[in-house]
Amino acid sequence: MPAPPRAGASAELPFLPMSEEKEVREAVDKMVDRERLLEGEDPDTTSRSEAVHWLWVYAELLGFKRDVTNEAESKGAALPPAALKEVDTDLTLLDAERRRLERRYQFWSARVQALSPPAG
């Protein structure tokens, strides 16, 4: 039988105080927000060097996200079946964020091309 919620805890996430639940929900929303930009990111920039900077930033984030996902998949494989469901939830969120980062990377790749001087 599950333990009753702690005093000041959320009914939905009884293991978290309500203030932390809000932070968690906001973080999840940010992870999967298809339109979210990083702080300082200006998709309308006309500066090629700024576009290259953001392409690099997203390349680094994608590498990091792939490493985290690979580690979770690798270590998750050794967990008991009940724990695997939890890892699957984590992987679903990580995959959604990876796809968002890939879209931003593709955007900046195209932006770098558009801002590059014509060849020849």
Q: Are residues 91 and 57 in the same domain?
A: yes
Residue 49, in any domain of the structure = yes
Q: Are residues 107 and 52 in the same domain?
A: yes
DSSP designation for 15:
T
Q: Are residues 27 and 62 in the same domain?
A: no
Reference 38, options 89, 83, 100, 85; nearest CA is: 100
Residue 78, in any domain of the structure = yes
Output the pTM of the full model: 0.78
Q: Are residues 53 and 108 in the same domain?
A: yes
In the numeric block, the tokens 């590059």 are attached to 116
Q: Are residues 18 and 62 in the same domain?
A: no
Q: Are residues 48 and 103 in the same domain?
A: yes
> Which domain, by its residues, includes 9?
1-32
Q: How many CB atoms lie within 10 A of CB 101?
A: 21
Residue 39, in any domain of the structure = no
Residue 48, in any domain of the structure = yes
Region label for 8, one of left (φ > 0), alpha (ψ between -120 and 50) or beta (otherwise): left
User: CB-based burial of residue 111 (10 Å sphere; 0-12 exposed, 13-18 middle, 19+ buried)?
Assistant: buried
Alpha carbon of residue 16 to chain centroid: 22
Are the C-beta atoms of residues 61 and 101 closer than 8 Å to each other? Answer: yes
Residue 37, in any domain of the structure = no
Per-residue pLDDT, 16: 64
Per-residue pLDDT, 72: 92
| Per-residue pLDDT tens digits of the chain, which is 120 residues long | 444 444 554 455 556 677 787 888 888 888 878 889 999 999 999 999 999 999 999 999 999 999 999 999 999 889 998 888 888 988 999 999 999 999 999 999 999 999 999 887
Distances (CA, A) of 35 to 10, 53, 101, 108, 109: 29, 19, 10, 14, 17
- In the chain, the number of structural domains is 2
Q: Are residues 48 and 17 in the same domain?
A: no
